[in-house]
A = this chain, B = another copy of it.
């Protein structure tokens, strides 16, 4: 008997399986863009993906499983961070880019909103969300590292917390206080974070 035959956990990453996964996740993405979380049903996704419903149920179990997988796929994409040569400019540009992303890309916004909602009832969604933003903010902290390198900030500055403080008001308004997000909001968050950072408000100690 062969090695792989003894291994029931061995999967089939190639061909049809991978193709179906892409088709299904693309369908989830499209559904989110058109109808949002409300219209995201196993049946709609399956039909749009040209795949049987049982396939979706077997591989992803729930709609939460679908959006978690989609977020994971999105997390692997690279994105550039501003590096204009001054912290104030970089923070403002970054905050604006977040607002612009969610204003112009309703699908991405729906995805984030959906995963945030799913995280309330599903630990896996919660973990995926955590991992996504931990990675994203860690990478965005390069903005802070550049500022530290230029001597604008103390080397003990906690970059991740600074980035979180920058982004927080945008997500707060988008998800909690539920008003439209706009550029003035981004600029205010950037300015406030910048001023606080200069005073050492994000010093991580040590």
Contact = CB atoms under 8 A, between A and B. Distances in A.
Contacts of A114: 120
A167 interface: yes
> So how many copies of this chain end up in the complex?
2
Interface in A115-140: 116-122, 126-127, 129-130, 133-134, 137
A55 interface: no
Contacts of A168: 168-169, 171-172
Contact of A192 (B118, B137, B188, B201): B201
Contacts of A59: none
A191 interface: yes
B165 A192 contact: yes
Contact of A130 (B133, B177, B197): B177
A29 interface: no
A179 interface: yes
A84 B121 CA distance: 39
Given A116-B117, A192-B202, A169 B175 contact: no
